[in-house]
Amino acid sequence: MDTISDEATQTVTLLRQGQTQREVAHALNMSQSAVSRVYRRYQETGNFNRRRGSGTKKCTSERDARFIVSSSLRNRALTGVQVQQEVRETRGVAVSGWTVRRRFKAANLEPKRPATGPKLTPAACL
C-alpha cells in the first residue's frame, strides 16, 4: 500500500511519540507493513515523498520512433504490422505491434484502412 504524504507525516509523528507500529497501523487504518515501509523510507530519505519508480525502459529510441512515424507518413497504405516488419528489417530493432500503435498515437496518426468498393470508371465520375 502506498501512502500519501499526510498519512506518512502522521505515521512518523505517532511513531516518534512512542507508539508501536501496530498501534499506529490500527489508529490510521493501515497495515503494519505499510507503517514499517513509511518509517523506513523516512529514515533513509528524510522526507515523506514516494520514491520514483524505475518503470519499464522504452525499447525504441527517439530516432526509431521518428522512423516509425515517417515510414507511415511516406506510405499511408502500410499497416502497423508492415511498419513493424520494416523497422525490424531496416533498423534491426524488434518492436511489437503494440509499440508501433503507441508511436502512431503519440504522433496523432489514426489507423486507416484502404477504401473498398467498386472501381471508379470515367463514366461514374461524371
Q: What is the pLDDT of residues 56-67, one digit of tens each?
A: 888 889 999 999
Low-confidence ranges of the chain (pLDDT < 70): 1-3, 114
Domain that holds residue 25: 5-45
102 and 66 both lie in a single domain: yes
Q: Which three cell numbers stand for residue 23?
A: 498501534
pTM above 0.75, yes or no: no
Domain count, the chain: 2
| CA atoms 47, 49, 55, 58: torsion sign | negative
pLDDT tens-digit series, residues 38-54: 999 889 888 877 777 77
68 and 94 both lie in a single domain: yes
Position 26 in a domain: yes
- Predicted local confidence at residue 115, as pLDDT: 72
Q: Which amino acid is at 116?
A: T
DSSP 109: P
66 and 101 both lie in a single domain: yes
Position 50 in a domain: no
Number of helices (H), then strands (E), belonging to the chain: the values are 6, 0
